[in-house]
Amino acid sequence: MPELPEVETIKRDLNKPAAGKIIAALKINPKRCFKLRGLKQAKFLNLPVLEFKKKIIGLKIASVDRRAKNLIFKLTDNRLPKNQAKFLLIHLKMTGQLIYRQADGLRIAGGHFIKNGEKNLPNKYTQLTFIFNDRSRLFFNDLRQFGWVHFLNQTELNNRLAKLGPEPLTPQFTFKIFQAILKKSPDKKIKALLLDQEKIAGLGNIYADEVCFYGRARPQRQIKSLQLQDQRKLFLGIKAILKKAIEKRGSSINSYLDAQGQPGGYAPFLKVYGRSNKKCFICRSLIKKIKLAGRGAHFCPQCQMKS
C-alpha cells in the first residue's frame, strides 16, 4: 500500500536511473490488460493503446516527481521547446509496482510486493513495460489492477492535481494552515480528515492511524473536540511520522519493497497499525481495532483519549 513515504521512496529511487532516458518502445500485455476480460482497451490507460504508444515513444523522461500519492513523469522532446513538456501521471493505488531494471543488472524500484515477482520480469501482473534507449526497462505491475498510467499535457495535469490538499512535509504546511483545515470540518472524525486527500495530501490508512496515536487522540474523535494541545500534537505527528517513514524507506506492511528489493524499514516503528489485540508499547493495554470510514482503524484505548 504505497502512501506518501513509499511513493516518495520510489520517486527518489527512480529519478537517478530513469531521468534522461528516452522511451524507445512500450509493451502492453494484451492478455493481462484486455483480452482475458473481454475489453477492447486497457482501462489503466487514458488513451487507446496505439494512440498512447504513438504519443510517448521517442520522448525523454526529464524527471520523476511526486504529488500526494501520485508519481509524475515529466516528458520532454528535444525537437520541441521546453514549455511543451508532457506528463505521465501514475497512481499505484494499493498494489501497483514500478520496477526498474538495467539491461545488465538487478537494480529495481519498488511498490507492492508480489511473491517472487521481482525475480522474473515481466511477470503475469506486468501490464506495461517501458524500454529505454539504453535497453534498461521499467515495469508497471499491478496485482489488483486499480492503478493507472495517464498521459496528460500541462493543463490537464494541473486540473488533475488541483483539488489536492497541501503537501504535509513542505514548509508551506504550517500549524496555522492545519488549524484552518480543521476548522472547516468540525463534525468530521479525525481519521476521516487525515485520509481525505483534498484536506491533506498523502496519508493513507497506516500513517493516519499512527498520527492519531502520536496525537493521543482516538481516530473516531470529532475535530471540534480537539483542544489546542491535541491539534499541536497531531500536527507534529504528521510531520514527524512521515519524515521518519521516508528515512526508513517506507513500511513493509503487505511486504512492500523498496528500490533495492528490500523491505522498507518503518514497520518496526508502527505503534498501532496491524497490532490489534497486541500490547500497547506504552501502557500494555490491548490495541483495539474498529471500522471507520470503511477502513480498519487501530488505537490504544488507554493512551488515546475519547474526547
Partner DNA sequence: TATATTGTTACACC
Partner DNA sequence: TGGTGTAACAATAT
Question: Exactly one of 16, 146, 260, 279 binds DNA (CB under 7 A); which one?
Answer: 146
Minimum CB distance to DNA smaller for 63 or for 185: 185
Residue 305 near DNA by CB under 7 A: no
Who contacts 154 (Cβ-Cβ below 8 Å, separation ≥6)? 85, 86, 87
- Scan for cell 484536506, then name that residue: 199
Candidate ranges 17-25, 133-141, 198-206, 260-268; the one touching DNA (CB under 7 A)? 198-206
Q: How far is CA 243 from the centre of its chain?
A: 15
Question: Which residues in the 234-263 window bind DNA by CB under 7 A?
Answer: none
Candidate ranges 20-28, 104-112, 189-197, 258-266; the one touching DNA (CB under 7 A)? 189-197
Question: Which residues in the 29-68 window bind DNA by CB under 7 A?
Answer: 37, 43, 68
Residue 185 near DNA by CB under 7 A: yes
How is residue 160 written as a grid cell? 488533475
Q: Choose among 240, 178, 247: nearest CA to 214.
A: 240
Q: How far is CA 33 from the centre of its chain?
A: 22
Residue 101 near DNA by CB under 7 A: no
Angle between helices 205-214 and 228-247 (to 10 degrees): 130
The residues facing 66 across adjacent strands are 71
How is residue 165 written as a grid cell? 490538499
Candidate ranges 23-31, 174-182, 235-243, 287-295; the one touching DNA (CB under 7 A)? 287-295
Q: Of residues 32, 69, 101, 288, which has the active-site annotation?
A: 69
Q: Please give the C-alpha separations between residue 237 and each of 29, 168, 169, in angstroms, as whole numbers.
A: 42, 11, 11
How is residue 149 written as a grid cell? 498510467
Minimum CB distance to DNA smaller for 48 or for 186: 186
Minimum CB distance to DNA smaller for 55 or for 295: 295
Please report, as ranges, the residues that interact with DNA according to CB under 7 A: 1, 3, 37, 43, 68-70, 91, 93-94, 115, 125, 143-146, 184-189, 192, 195, 197, 204-206, 222, 289, 291-296
